[in-house]
Amino acid sequence: MTEQGVAATESFEPDNHGAGNSAASRDKAYFLHPYTNLHAHETQGPLIIERGEGVRVFDDSGKEYIEGLASLWCVSLGWGEERLVEAATRQMRKLPTYHVFGHKSHEPGIDLAERLIKLAPVPMSKVFFANSGSEANDTAVKLVWYYNNALGRPEKKKILSRVKAYHGVTVATASLTGLVNNHRDFDLPIARIQHTDCPHHYRFAEPGESEEDFATRLAESLEALILAEGPETIAAMFAEPVMGAGGVIVPPATYFAKIQPILKKYDILLVADEVICGFGRTGNFWGSQTMGMQPDILTCAKQLSSGYLPISAVMVSDAVYRACVEESKKIGTFGHGYTYSAHPVAAAVAIETLKIYEERDLVGHVRAVAPLFQRRLKALADHPLVGEARGVGLIGALELVADKETKTPFDPVGRAGAVVNGLSQENGLIIRAMGDSVAVCPPLVIGEEDINRMFDRLTTALDAAIPVLRG
């Protein structure tokens, strides 16, 4: 190697900031974490999870935690499901990887697509596969634009989302996401994205306004926005059945019944983001069924493989598919896809996951234990720190407030959530703070005994937070 080559190699060595040999020190030296206060992380470092078993995970000191968020809303079957390990192993030996570009295909991808179409909450035509919820929703954005170009409507491209929605972190999906910190200093949102009202009755209803009246007002506001922008420019609306990362916001009664006729009136597609709600979380197989949604496009991920391998899917109606066929005929190709679309190992694990859901009647299990989950959750509305307890099925959140009567949040916003989140972790429970709302969303396989343990630990954390926040 030349002298210059040696110098170049040496200069490329990263500064490890004095990293030691421990996993925590190496993490701080080399690992850039998502959704993390990077400045605080340099001092605080990571919680290193070493293994999982059932609804529990264990850190590198051996401490046990109930995983109350199912590892970001997704590990429906808990940790250690051997059938998923075996499905992955079998497929790794047979066909560990292959693509589906240019008329190529494989059995796991075909089988999974067929299963999803048969399970769809409304008639769907085809399935496109990606690797994450963000990619699925990003694909849906492109399909909406492609669809309207195919129909000769080049101006019908604007997409509606909602304040506090969460649809991903790609450039397009982070723009759809209605959370300020996902936009700040990323130069988002991009053009063509509009946000309508957040359907959170507790926070945004007028004094004395019923849920149904609130839903009526939101529907009227949505129609006013469509008319102001021009119906001929609005292509689609994205909506989660229950808004997840925005705070587990359950829509008010009659909300989707009121907004869907407006969308149909102006020929606006409805995209159901089922990334969190799909596969039993709300007490039905799809959140769309729970909330009475009739989507034209449906995206899903997370519990599709119980989070064991990255995979997501986009289901499209026949009208959307036929338009795509005609446009690809004109262009000569459908110029969209990912190297790992329908990756055979991820698809095999997803197929086995769907088989387990059916064989064990996981939706029936959710319906059996959800009443206890919701009863324990709603009882915490009486806690001195809790303004609202909300949820459906096996997902819920507590909104923390400084004053229950006025709903005034703690100052600064976010501190109360962080305190309760930290105290929960100390007490052996992993939850997630989203501002001053804390979410619980355990694996779907959780039993009543662990539901009670989970809420006991959460209650202990809330009690411990009182002197910290009010002392």
CATH numbers and ranges of domains, the chain = 47-79+362-470 (3.90.1150.10), 84-359 (3.40.640.10)
What is the bridge-based pairing of β-strands 297-300 and 269-273? parallel
pLDDT tens sequence across 78-99: 999 999 999 999 999 999 999 9
Q: Report the 10 Å Cβ neighbour count for 81.
A: 21
How many CA atoms lie less than 13 Å away from 249 in the CB half-sphere? 24
Side chain identity, residue 203: R
Please give the Cα distance from 400 to 236 (Å, whole number).
34
Band of pLDDT at residue 471, cut at 50, 70 and 90: confident
Answer yes or no: are the C-beta atoms of 116 and 313 closer than 8 Å. Answer: yes
Measured in degrees and rounded to the nearest 5, phi and psi for residue 432 equal -140, 130
Distance CA 164, CA 177 (A): 7
Helix or strand run (H / E) with residue 6? helix 3-12
Tell me the pLDDT band of 20, cut-offs 50, 70 and 90: confident
Q: How many helices (H) and strands (E) does the chain have?
A: 17, 15
| SS3 assignment, position 96 | coil
Contact 247, 200 (CB under 8 A): yes
CA atoms within 13 A on the CB side of 407: 12
Residue 301 and residue 275 in contact, taking contact as beta carbons nearer than 8 Å: yes
Classify 422 as helix, strand or coil. helix
Distance of alpha carbon 28 from alpha carbon 195, whole angstroms: 37
User: Residue 312: is it exposed, middle or buried by C-beta count within 10 angstroms (0-12/13-18/19+)?
Assistant: buried
* Buried-state track 235-272, b at ≥16 Cβ within 10 A, e below 16: bbbbbbbbbbbbbbbbbbebbbebbbebbeeeebbbbb
Residue written as token pair 């959530």: 417
* DSSP H/E element including 273: strand 269-273
Q: What is the DSSP string of 74-86?
A: T-TT-B--HHHHH
**Percentage with pLDDT > 70 across the chain:** 96
Torsion of CA 71, 77, 78, 81, to 10 degrees: -130
Beta bridge partners of 236: 159, 269
Q: What average pLDDT does range 267-285 have in this prediction?
A: 98
Q: How far apart are the C-alpha atoms of 279 and 74, rounded to whole Å?
A: 10
DSSP string, 305-357: TTTSS--EEEEE-HHHHHHHHHHHHHHSS-----TTTT-HHHHHHHHHHHHHH
Q: Write out pLDDT tens, residues 335-355.
A: 999 999 999 999 999 999 999
In sequence order, the β-bridge partners of residue 172 are: none
Contact 298, 288 (CB under 8 A): yes
| pLDDT tier at 6, thresholds 50, 70, 90 | very low
Residue type, 12: F
Checking DSSP bridges between strand 49-53 and strand 56-59, what pairing results, if any?
A: antiparallel
Structural contact between residues 127 and 313, judged by C-beta atoms closer than 8 angstroms: yes
Calpha distance 322→242 (Å, rounded): 30
In angstroms, the CA 243 to CA 248 distance is 5
Is 444's pLDDT higher than 60? yes
pLDDT at 11 over 60: no
Average pLDDT over residues 259-285: 98
Confidence of residue 12 (pLDDT cuts 50, 70, 90): very low
Average pLDDT estimate for 170-182: 97
Q: How far apart, in Å, are the Cα atoms of 6 and each of 2, 9, 15?
A: 6, 5, 17
Least confident of 17-26, 146-155, 180-189, 452-461: 17-26
